[in-house]
Protein backbone atom coordinates (compact mmCIF):
# COMPACT_ATOMS: atom_id res chain seq x y z
CA UNK A 1 0.00 0.00 0.00
CA UNK A 2 3.06 2.27 0.11
CA UNK A 3 2.30 3.83 -3.28
CA UNK A 4 -1.48 3.92 -3.01
CA UNK A 5 -3.24 7.28 -2.99
CA UNK A 6 -5.64 7.56 -0.06
CA UNK A 7 -8.71 9.77 0.21
CA UNK A 8 -10.78 9.94 3.39
CA UNK A 9 -14.39 10.84 2.65
CA UNK A 10 -15.46 12.90 5.63
CA UNK A 11 -18.02 15.03 7.42
CA UNK A 12 -17.02 18.00 9.57
CA UNK A 13 -18.45 16.62 12.84
CA UNK A 14 -18.33 12.84 12.48
CA UNK A 15 -16.38 11.22 15.35
CA UNK A 16 -15.85 8.06 13.30
CA UNK A 17 -14.14 10.10 10.59
CA UNK A 18 -11.92 11.57 13.29
CA UNK A 19 -11.01 8.06 14.43
CA UNK A 20 -9.77 7.20 10.94
CA UNK A 21 -8.03 10.55 10.48
CA UNK A 22 -6.16 10.13 13.77
CA UNK A 23 -5.06 6.64 12.77
CA UNK A 24 -3.80 7.84 9.39
CA UNK A 25 -1.88 10.67 11.05
CA UNK A 26 -0.34 8.36 13.64
CA UNK A 27 0.77 6.05 10.84
CA UNK A 28 2.42 9.02 9.13
CA UNK A 29 0.64 8.42 5.82
CA UNK A 30 -0.38 11.37 3.62
CA UNK A 31 -4.01 11.43 2.59
CA UNK A 32 -6.57 13.76 1.10
CA UNK A 33 -9.91 14.60 2.65
CA UNK A 34 -13.14 14.98 0.72
CA UNK A 35 -15.81 16.46 2.96
CA UNK A 36 -19.47 15.99 2.09
CA UNK A 37 -22.79 17.26 3.42
CA UNK A 38 -24.65 14.30 4.90
CA UNK A 39 -27.91 16.22 4.59
CA UNK A 40 -27.45 16.32 0.82
CA UNK A 41 -25.40 13.25 -0.04
CA UNK A 42 -23.94 13.42 -3.54
CA UNK A 43 -24.78 10.68 -6.01
CA UNK A 44 -21.16 9.57 -6.38
CA UNK A 45 -21.04 8.99 -2.62
CA UNK A 46 -24.26 6.99 -2.49
CA UNK A 47 -23.00 4.85 -5.37
CA UNK A 48 -19.94 3.68 -3.41
CA UNK A 49 -21.15 3.78 0.22
CA UNK A 50 -23.29 0.70 1.01
CA UNK A 51 -24.50 2.20 4.29
CA UNK A 52 -24.64 5.81 3.13
CA UNK A 53 -22.33 6.80 5.98
CA UNK A 54 -18.85 8.25 6.46
CA UNK A 55 -16.01 7.59 6.70
CA UNK A 56 -14.99 5.96 3.48
CA UNK A 57 -11.39 5.30 2.60
CA UNK A 58 -10.76 5.44 -1.15
CA UNK A 59 -7.62 3.55 -2.15
CA UNK A 60 -6.31 4.29 -5.62
CA UNK A 61 -4.01 1.50 -6.68
CA UNK A 62 -0.95 1.85 -8.89
CA UNK A 63 -2.86 0.38 -11.84
CA UNK A 64 -5.46 3.15 -11.57
CA UNK A 65 -8.25 1.06 -10.07
CA UNK A 66 -9.95 2.13 -6.86
CA UNK A 67 -10.98 0.17 -3.77
CA UNK A 68 -13.46 1.48 -1.23
CA UNK A 69 -13.48 0.67 2.48
CA UNK A 70 -16.38 1.64 4.73
CA UNK A 71 -16.84 1.59 8.53
CA UNK A 72 -14.16 3.22 10.70
CA UNK A 73 -13.22 0.02 12.57
CA UNK A 74 -12.56 -1.74 9.27
CA UNK A 75 -10.52 1.18 7.95
CA UNK A 76 -8.40 1.34 11.10
CA UNK A 77 -7.80 -2.41 11.13
CA UNK A 78 -6.78 -2.29 7.46
CA UNK A 79 -4.29 0.49 8.18
CA UNK A 80 -2.94 -1.52 11.10
CA UNK A 81 -2.51 -4.62 8.94
CA UNK A 82 -0.87 -2.84 6.01
CA UNK A 83 1.23 -0.28 7.89
CA UNK A 84 2.84 -2.27 10.70
CA UNK A 85 5.84 0.01 11.24
CA UNK A 86 3.83 2.14 13.69
CA UNK A 87 1.74 -0.43 15.60
CA UNK A 88 -1.43 0.86 17.25
CA UNK A 89 -2.67 -2.55 18.42
CA UNK A 90 -0.97 -4.73 21.06
CA UNK A 91 0.96 -7.75 19.77
CA UNK A 92 -0.54 -10.15 22.30
CA UNK A 93 -3.77 -11.63 20.85
CA UNK A 94 -5.67 -11.52 24.15
CA UNK A 95 -4.75 -7.91 24.86
CA UNK A 96 -5.57 -7.00 21.27
CA UNK A 97 -9.01 -8.59 21.63
CA UNK A 98 -9.58 -6.66 24.85
CA UNK A 99 -8.68 -3.43 23.08
CA UNK A 100 -11.20 -4.23 20.38
CA UNK A 101 -13.81 -4.66 23.09
CA UNK A 102 -13.06 -1.21 24.52
CA UNK A 103 -13.27 0.26 21.03
CA UNK A 104 -16.79 -1.16 20.76
CA UNK A 105 -17.56 0.24 24.19
CA UNK A 106 -16.46 3.65 22.91
CA UNK A 107 -18.96 3.31 20.08
CA UNK A 108 -21.70 2.63 22.62
CA UNK A 109 -20.69 5.81 24.46
CA UNK A 110 -21.09 7.73 21.21
CA UNK A 111 -24.62 6.36 20.91
CA UNK A 112 -25.55 7.73 24.34
CA UNK A 113 -23.69 10.94 23.58
CA UNK A 114 -25.95 11.54 20.59
CA UNK A 115 -28.98 11.40 22.87
CA UNK A 116 -27.25 13.66 25.38
CA UNK A 117 -26.38 16.41 22.91
CA UNK A 118 -29.72 16.33 21.07
CA UNK A 119 -31.94 16.10 24.19
CA UNK A 120 -34.65 18.74 24.04
CA UNK A 121 -35.64 18.82 27.70
CA UNK A 122 -34.02 18.58 31.11
CA UNK A 123 -35.41 15.12 31.87
CA UNK A 124 -33.94 13.51 28.73
CA UNK A 125 -30.71 15.40 29.17
CA UNK A 126 -30.25 14.21 32.75
CA UNK A 127 -31.18 10.61 31.88
CA UNK A 128 -28.59 10.44 29.11
CA UNK A 129 -26.08 12.09 31.40
CA UNK A 130 -26.57 9.36 34.00
CA UNK A 131 -26.15 6.68 31.32
CA UNK A 132 -22.91 8.28 30.18
CA UNK A 133 -21.63 8.59 33.75
CA UNK A 134 -22.19 4.87 34.32
CA UNK A 135 -20.16 4.03 31.24
CA UNK A 136 -17.35 6.41 32.10
CA UNK A 137 -17.21 4.82 35.56
CA UNK A 138 -16.33 1.54 33.84
CA UNK A 139 -13.67 3.28 31.75
CA UNK A 140 -12.28 4.92 34.89
CA UNK A 141 -11.82 1.53 36.54
CA UNK A 142 -9.91 0.22 33.52
CA UNK A 143 -7.42 3.09 33.25
CA UNK A 144 -4.02 3.14 34.90
CA UNK A 145 -1.54 5.96 35.36
CA UNK A 146 -1.62 6.89 31.69
CA UNK A 147 -1.11 9.09 29.92
CA UNK A 148 -2.89 6.86 27.41
CA UNK A 149 -5.25 3.91 27.66
CA UNK A 150 -2.58 1.36 28.53
CA UNK A 151 0.31 3.62 29.49
CA UNK A 152 2.91 5.34 27.35
CA UNK A 153 1.94 3.90 23.95
CA UNK A 154 -0.85 5.46 21.90
CA UNK A 155 -3.31 2.89 20.53
CA UNK A 156 -6.47 2.55 18.47
CA UNK A 157 -8.41 2.75 21.73
CA UNK A 158 -7.02 6.26 22.21
CA UNK A 159 -8.01 7.14 18.64
CA UNK A 160 -11.55 6.02 19.50
CA UNK A 161 -11.99 8.05 22.67
CA UNK A 162 -10.29 11.28 21.59
CA UNK A 163 -13.32 12.39 19.50
CA UNK A 164 -15.59 11.59 22.46
CA UNK A 165 -13.65 13.92 24.73
CA UNK A 166 -13.63 16.61 22.04
CA UNK A 167 -17.40 16.85 22.42
CA UNK A 168 -16.99 17.67 26.10
CA UNK A 169 -14.32 20.26 25.34
CA UNK A 170 -16.98 22.15 23.38
CA UNK A 171 -19.83 21.41 25.78
CA UNK A 172 -17.82 22.88 28.65
CA UNK A 173 -17.61 26.22 26.81
CA UNK A 174 -21.42 26.30 26.72
CA UNK A 175 -22.40 24.92 30.12
CA UNK A 176 -20.44 23.14 32.80
CA UNK A 177 -21.86 19.61 32.69
CA UNK A 178 -19.42 18.27 35.28
CA UNK A 179 -20.14 14.82 33.90
CA UNK A 180 -16.50 13.69 33.85
CA UNK A 181 -15.26 15.57 36.92
CA UNK A 182 -15.56 12.59 39.27
CA UNK A 183 -13.26 10.45 37.15
CA UNK A 184 -9.65 11.46 37.75
CA UNK A 185 -8.15 8.88 35.39
CA UNK A 186 -10.57 9.78 32.61
CA UNK A 187 -9.82 13.49 33.03
CA UNK A 188 -6.08 12.84 32.89
CA UNK A 189 -6.53 10.75 29.75
CA UNK A 190 -8.75 13.43 28.21
CA UNK A 191 -6.10 16.09 28.80
CA UNK A 192 -3.32 13.98 27.27
CA UNK A 193 -5.35 13.26 24.14
CA UNK A 194 -6.39 16.89 23.70
CA UNK A 195 -2.80 18.04 23.07
CA UNK A 196 -1.68 15.19 20.81
CA UNK A 197 -1.01 16.55 17.29
CA UNK A 198 -2.90 13.79 15.47
CA UNK A 199 -5.98 14.50 17.60
CA UNK A 200 -5.80 18.25 17.17
CA UNK A 201 -5.47 17.97 13.39
CA UNK A 202 -8.34 15.49 13.00
CA UNK A 203 -10.88 18.32 12.71
CA UNK A 204 -10.98 21.70 11.00
CA UNK A 205 -10.39 24.90 13.02
CA UNK A 206 -14.10 25.71 12.89
CA UNK A 207 -15.16 22.42 14.50
CA UNK A 208 -16.46 24.07 17.69
CA UNK A 209 -18.53 26.61 15.76
CA UNK A 210 -20.03 23.86 13.61
CA UNK A 211 -20.92 21.77 16.66
CA UNK A 212 -22.62 24.75 18.29
CA UNK A 213 -24.58 25.35 15.08
CA UNK A 214 -25.60 21.67 15.10
CA UNK A 215 -26.88 22.02 18.66
CA UNK A 216 -28.82 25.13 17.69
CA UNK A 217 -30.40 23.35 14.72
CA UNK A 218 -31.51 20.51 17.03
CA UNK A 219 -32.93 22.87 19.67
CA UNK A 220 -30.61 21.21 22.19
CA UNK A 221 -31.34 21.58 25.89
CA UNK A 222 -27.60 21.89 26.38
CA UNK A 223 -27.78 25.43 24.98
CA UNK A 224 -30.59 26.43 27.34
CA UNK A 225 -29.08 24.95 30.49
CA UNK A 226 -27.65 27.48 32.91
CA UNK A 227 -23.97 27.39 33.76
Domain extent listing, the chain: 5-82, 93-223
pLDDT for 4 equals 78
Q: For 80-102, write each residue's pLDDT tens digit.
A: 999 999 999 999 999 999 999 99
CATH of domain 5-82: 3.40.30.10
Q: For 136-159, write each residue's pLDDT tens digit.
A: 999 999 999 999 999 999 999 999
3-state secondary structure (DSSP) of residue 162: helix
Catalytic-role residue among 6, 9, 13, 14? 14
Residues 143 and 190: their CA atoms lie apart, in Å, by: 12
| β-pair type (5-10, 56-60) | antiparallel
| pTM: predicted TM-score of the whole model, two decimal places | 0.96
Question: Topology of domain 93-223, per CATH?
Answer: Glutathione S-transferase Yfyf (Class Pi); Chain A, domain 2 (1.20.1050)
Q: Is 14 a catalytic residue?
A: yes
For the cut 70, the answer to whether the pLDDT of residue 227 exceeds it is no
For the cut 60, the answer to whether the pLDDT of residue 216 exceeds it is yes
pLDDT for 24 equals 98
**Eight-class DSSP state of 89:** S
Banded pLDDT at 225 (limits 50, 70, 90) = confident
Q: For 190-199, write each residue's pLDDT tens digit.
A: 999 999 999 9
Amino acid sequence: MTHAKLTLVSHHLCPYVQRAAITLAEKGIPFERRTIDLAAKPDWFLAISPLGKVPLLLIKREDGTQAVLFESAVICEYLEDTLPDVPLHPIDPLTRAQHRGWIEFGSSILSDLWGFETAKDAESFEAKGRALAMKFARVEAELGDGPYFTGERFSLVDATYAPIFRYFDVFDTITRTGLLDAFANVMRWRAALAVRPSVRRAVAPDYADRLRAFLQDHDAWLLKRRM
